[in-house]
Amino acid sequence: MLRSAIAVVFAALLTCALAAPSFAEDEASGHGIPGMSEDGSILISQLDVDTRRRVRSLWSRIVCACPKENWSKTLTNCPDGCADQQKQMVLFAVRAGQTDEQVLDQQLTNFGPKVLAEPDGPIPYVMPFVILFAAGGVVFIAYRNWSRSAASRPRPAVNASDAELDAVARELEEIG
């Protein structure tokens, strides 16, 4: 029964994996853009390379204020027309010579503190590494306790050398 079940699982997963690309012709669906752009809007393609890069960097630091996105996307991955006005604000501000901080302050003034895609303070940046080091500490303490426990147990009369362990490992490889 288990083998039959596993065979069914194989078939299902293979079907999913193989069917998906065959459906994936050059067509999909996405979000929408309404209407036409206003005259006077700036095209990012009209900017020089460094300014374009600066604008995209700013877009990645600003959260899309579209109500339906619910503060879940940055301007970078919010291609909807509803984000166009916010993106144009950034473009106009940059072209007017404002610094990054001034651009972000303008966004804060217009949309509130949630518009910034960065935490206020170091805790979210630091805490994961604190967790990693704490976990490392636990592993270190466990390993030290194991080592002490192993040292207190009687050892075999002969310690295997590296060459002997190497030979054993090769034999195990041959066995599989």
Partner 1 sequence: MDYIDFGRWLERGAFALAALTVLLGVMGALARDRRFVRAARNSLVLGGLAVTGAAAVLVSAFFRSDYRLEYVFGYSERALDPVFKFAGLWAGLQGSILFWAMILGLIGIALAWSFRKRSLDPSGRRLEPWVYVVFAAVQCFFLAVISFVADPMAPISPDLVARMGPSGAPGGVPADGSGLTPLLENYWMLIHPPSVYIGFILYTVPFAFGTAALISGEFSSYWIRTTRRWTLVAWLFNTNGVILGGLWAYEVLGWGGYWAWDPVENASFLPWLPATAFLHSVMIQERRDMLRVWNSLLIAATFILTIFGTYLTRSGIVSSVHAFASGSVGDWFFGFLMVLIAVSIFLIFLRMNRLRSASTIDSVFSREGVFLLNNMVLVAIAAAIVLLTLWPKISNDLLGNPISLGVPVYNLVCTPFFILLLTLTAIGPSTAWVRSPTRRFVRNLALPAIVSLPLAAGTLHLAYVTIRGGDQGDPVSLAQHIYPTGIVAFVGWWIITSLAYEVWRAVSATARATGRPFVGSALRVITGNNRRYGGYLVHVGLAMLAIGVVCSSMYRVQSEVNIAPGTKQAVGPYEIEIADVQRDVPVSAYRATRMELDVTRGGSTVASLTPETRFYRQTMYRSEPVNMTIVQIHRQLSEDFYVYFQHMRPDGSALFTIFRNPLINIVWLGWLTMIAGGLFAAAPIGRGRVGLAA
Length, in residues, of the chain? 176
Region of 40 (left: φ > 0; alpha: ψ -120 to 50; beta: rest) is left
Query: What is the nearest approach in angstroms of partner 1 to the Cβ of residue 86?
Result: 14
β-pair partners for 74: 63
Nearer to partner 1, 101 or 162 (CB): 162
Nearer to partner 1, 95 or 114 (CB): 114
Distance CA 7, CA 13 (A): 10
Binding map of partner 1 across residues 47-86, x = CB under 8 A, - = no contact = --x--xx--x---xx-x----xxxxxxx-xxxx-x-----
Query: What is the nearest approach in angstroms of partner 1 to the Cβ of residue 103?
Result: 15
Among 85, 102, 141, 169, binds partner 1 (CB under 8 A): 169
Query: What is the nearest approach in angstroms of partner 1 to the Cβ of residue 104?
Result: 13
> Which residues inside 101-120 make contact with partner 1, applying CB under 8 A?
112-120
Determine contact, residues 40/89, Cβ cutoff 8 Å.
no
> Which residues inside 128-167 make contact with partner 1, applying CB under 8 A?
128-129, 131-132, 135-136, 138-139, 143, 146-147, 149-150, 162-163, 165-166
Q: Which stretch binds partner 1 (CB under 8 A): 19-27, 93-101, 102-110?
A: 19-27
Nearer to partner 1, 157 or 175 (CB): 175
Determine contact, residues 62/107, Cβ cutoff 8 Å.
yes
51's CB contacts (< 8 A; 6+ apart) are: 94, 95
β-pair partners for 63: 74
Is 34 among the residues that bind partner 1 (CB under 8 A)?
yes
For the CA atoms of 113, 117, 120, 126, what is the dihedral angle to 10 degrees? Answer: 160
3-class DSSP state of 62: strand
